[in-house]
Amino acid sequence: MAKKGQGPGLGPKGKGIEKMSSEGKYVIHATIRVDGTVARKDVVGAIFGQTEGLLGEGLQLRKLQRTGRIGHVDVNLNNHKGRVQGQIEVSSSIDQVSTAVIGAALETIDRIGPCKAVIKVKEIENIRSAKRDHVIDRAKELLLGIVNSASGESKNILDEVRAVLTLDTEIEFEEMTAGPNVRNSDAIIIVEGRNDVRNLLKFGINNAIATMGSGIKPELAELASKKKTVTAFLDGDRGGKLLLMEINGSLGKSLTHVAFAPQSREVEHLEGKVVTKCLGQKEPASKAVARIQTEIQKDDDNSVGKGTPSLEAPEEIKGWAQLMDGLKRNQAVIVQEDGSGSDPISAKDLESALGESAGAQGLVFSGKVTDRIHELASGAGINNVVGKTVGPQSLKLGVQAYSVRDLE
């Protein structure tokens, strides 16, 4: 990691800029990838130099920094085999629209000195919102401390408050994310991922459990066998249908009901009233499985000519199809510069693996390419992803996604 130095927009710590940073409302978080060796001062110089005159007089970065409205430009770089990757953070106390414009301007920088460069903004963090979340979380902790020290005379109050505080608390059940009531409830709801469980928790549904995208664990099948009602609540797309077939194959008669999100929507993004409606319209598992089996067969029969339009993948990317062989559901392989693939990576380890990789040119994912996959690939400087299936928008954050059908 490069040492911090001074250049345009960098002031000595402990002085005015650091004070401004602590008062700033937003922080722009971006990644940078450079095909060559550059220093931190080169990156900072390019940020101030190449955006000068682009945004008009009111958004000149040098002027904004002199007046304390743009703060410290923090650049951290890693050099690996002659290529540089890193992170950029820019603090801002101007309004959110202007901050977003400056973030977009950073992405127009395509060269650092003589070297080709790519800058991608990952997020613009609202510092005040983050502080507010911290206040809420800390207040919950303090309140629990008060409640736990209550006397026996306050037992009814204690139970009531604890019920509220555990409403949105997830647990780990045999390495699967679940709601706090999944062990003791007579009914459980099976969903695909961790974020599905978290979304249901927001609406007081505390008995959901996620398959975690790595096949149906025997522990989940055993848990389901002990419940009166087992409902699969799945995304409203082909991936959700295929997961239903997988769940049914593992659980058999233990699966009693099936509910789907609306067409093309995912459980993790549903509003409370939509969740209630979908679960209220659940159907017997035997009926749903028979219907979905027929729909999948029709989809397969219509895949040529009448199916979803396919992209024409470049020949190099078509060669990645072999890397999909042997992968379990939602496992991934990072494609190296020489076209070779990494060892299989689980979904939960993918973010850290991408952060440690250098020079990766692609990603092969044995599952649906979601917004999260686009974000992880973009952050790692990867421009192309191959997945089992792809959503309706295949190009996001500069990352082009292809389905296995596009490789045929």
Question: What CATH code is carried by the domain that includes residue 237?
Answer: 3.40.1360.10
Q: Which residue segment(s) compose the domain that 96 sits in?
A: 16-126
In the chain, the amino acid numbered 263 is Q
Q: Between vectors from CA 15 to CA 10 and to CA 16, what angle results, nearest 5°?
A: 80
pLDDT confidence tier of residue 181, bands split at 50, 70 and 90: very high
- Can you tell me the distance from the alpha carbon of 50 to that of 183, in angstroms, rounded to the nearest whole number? 58
pLDDT of residue 405: 84
The answer to whether residues 170 and 181 touch, using CB atoms and an 8 Å cutoff, is no
Stretch 203-212: mean pLDDT, rounded?
91
pLDDT in tens, 240-258: 888 898 899 889 899 999 9
> CB-based contacts of 177: which residues, under 8 Å, 6+ apart?
170, 171, 193, 194, 197, 198, 209, 210, 212
Supply the pTM of this predicted model.
0.41
Burial 170-185 (b: 16+ CB within 10 A, else e): bbebeebbbbbbbeeb
Considering the domain architecture, whether residues 198 and 241 belong to the same structural domain is answered as yes
pLDDT of residue 156: 52
pLDDT in tens, 37-60: 888 888 988 888 888 878 777 788
DSSP state of 385: E
Domain count, the chain: 3
Considering the domain architecture, whether residues 340 and 285 belong to the same structural domain is answered as no
Three-state DSSP state, 91: strand
Residue 237 domain-assigned (yes or no): yes
pLDDT of residue 310: 55
Considering the domain architecture, whether residues 286 and 322 belong to the same structural domain is answered as no
Q: Which of 245, 239, 243, 229 is nearest to 282 (CA)?
A: 229
Considering the domain architecture, whether residues 175 and 294 belong to the same structural domain is answered as yes
Beta partners for residue 126, in sequence order = 26
DSSP state of 293: H
Stretch 103-115: mean pLDDT, rounded?
89
pLDDT of residue 149: 58
pLDDT in tens, 115-172: 899 999 999 888 777 777 777 778 777 777 766 555 444 445 544 444 444 455 889 9
pLDDT in tens, 275-313: 999 999 999 999 999 998 888 777 655 554 444 455 677
Considering the domain architecture, whether residues 283 and 322 belong to the same structural domain is answered as no
The CATH number given to whatever domain includes residue 344 is 3.40.140.20
Three-state DSSP state, 354: helix
